[in-house]
A = this chain, B = another copy of it.
């Protein structure tokens, strides 16, 4: 009876090879974070609705996975005629983690008296979003966040820029660059036509520039009633060609006379200078005044990592937030964070063929099981080989040699040891190199020496 067994839409299994490759990425990420004094934090997958509610906007809440209450909670409750929005709180009081930022703020709120500020943590965990699945985008995926909370110094931003560079350089990624901007610049632009109240709509529309193109952005801005002055100013910035210095001059002319514009420009320049002192090459990071980052909670610098010649979009993004703590009763909690999309990074590393040299653990030696009289010796051999750190399998049952060799072949096991009638009679061992097909006969000490030399060279 064949029963269909399927995965839930937008989820996936990870094979050994994929896990080895992903772990290679994660170990580089973690080692860089540790070098900068960040420590790990992990929070539960399940958070209460009071933690998750009203943090991600209406769109975010629609994408959240809600968990049904346990037990027969519907007893004596009539749901007739109620719509979803009203029923949800009756049947669900918790949901799956949607990002790693809100859990961080919840954690800080709970432990603020014990924590050491500025609090520097990284967090590598799965998040869940009921988004439309597409290439490189799943409903269950790893996020890899780094945050510095409790300092307003732009040195934090500078360090994060350098960390991004260090991680990607250690992974040998090519053609990446970082775009930065400051919300104050966008804010100054809208304030030019006294439209500051619509700043978030403005950012949301500009955020779509790469996806929908300039003409659609103009249309959307006009529809939302943004002034021609703003659109024309933006036009000049979107189509700007010139050096970084010339761009800064143009921005100075555009928003330098407005307080928050001047402050933003000053902070961006200072951040870049500090990042350069930290060793960030100048060509890696540029100001892009049209970078908005959709998330409403950013209040300062925003950043995004792009890879040229890739269709995969951004590798990650982040920025400074000042108000996040408020929803947990914390005031004046300024932080800056960045999040790598590990699935995207993985996909781009595949595109750039950066995984060849990353071997995982695989079995190095297969002991073929040919004679039931040899079992005791085979078990002892397996133990000896493992004691010497050689990854060893003993084929569990006595079946045809060809089948056991096929197993070694399929699992890419480089060496096979044969202990047949002849070997048992002469107290010797036949070593077969699965790549060359060559077979050699050894006594036990010589065999151990050959294996250790070959496999641990």
Q: Is the CB of B396 within 8 A of A155?
A: yes
Q: Is the CB of A14 within 8 A of B39?
A: no
Question: CB within 8 A of A14: which of B2, B19, B42, B159?
Answer: B42
Q: A67-B65, A72-B84, A329-B2 are in contact. Are A278 and B42 (CB under 8 A)?
A: no
Selected interface stretch from A74-82, A300-308, A440-448: A74-82
Q: Is A218 located at the chain interface by the 8 A CB criterion? A: no
Q: Is the CB of A393 within 8 A of B65?
A: no
Which residue of the partner chain B has the closest CB to A102? B5
Question: CB within 8 A of A328: which of B3, B13, B383, B390?
Answer: B3
Q: Is A199 located at the chain interface by the 8 A CB criterion? A: no
Give residues 92-127 of A contacting B (CB, 8 Å).
Answer: 92, 94, 96, 106-107, 109-110, 116, 118, 120-121, 126
Give residues 2-60 of A contacting B (CB, 8 Å).
Answer: 2-8, 11-16, 19-20, 34-37, 39-48, 50-51
Distance, CA A309 to CA B391, complexed state (A): 34
Question: CB within 8 A of A107: which of B13, B44, B362?
Answer: B13
CB distance from A424 to the nearest CB of B (A): 16
Q: Is the CB of A13 within 8 A of B43?
A: yes
Q: A3-B328, A5-B106, A397-B151 are in contact. Are A19 and B37 (CB under 8 A)?
A: no
Residue numbers in B under 8 Å from A78 (CB-CB): 80-81
Q: Is A411 located at the chain interface by the 8 A CB criterion? A: yes
Which residue of the partner chain B has the closest CB to A328? B5
B interface footprint on A371-384 (CB within 8 Å = 1, 0 otherwise): 00001100110110
Distance, CA A304 to CA B10, complexed state (A): 37
Q: Count of chain A residues with Cβ under 8 Å from any Cβ of B?
A: 111
Distance, CA A274 to CA B15, complexed state (A): 31
Distance, CA A7 to CA B42, complexed state (A): 13
Give residues 310-359 of A contacting B (CB, 8 Å).
Answer: 326-329
Q: Is A73 located at the chain interface by the 8 A CB criterion? A: yes
Residue numbers in B under 8 Å from A362 (CB-CB): 37, 39
Q: A65-B67, A116-B410 are in contact. Are A396 and B151 (CB under 8 A)?
A: yes
Q: Is the CB of A7 within 8 A of B39?
A: no
* 11 A-B pairs (CB sep. < 8 Å): A5-B51, A6-B110, A16-B41, A19-B41, A34-B391, A45-B126, A63-B70, A78-B80, A120-B393, A153-B396, A277-B375
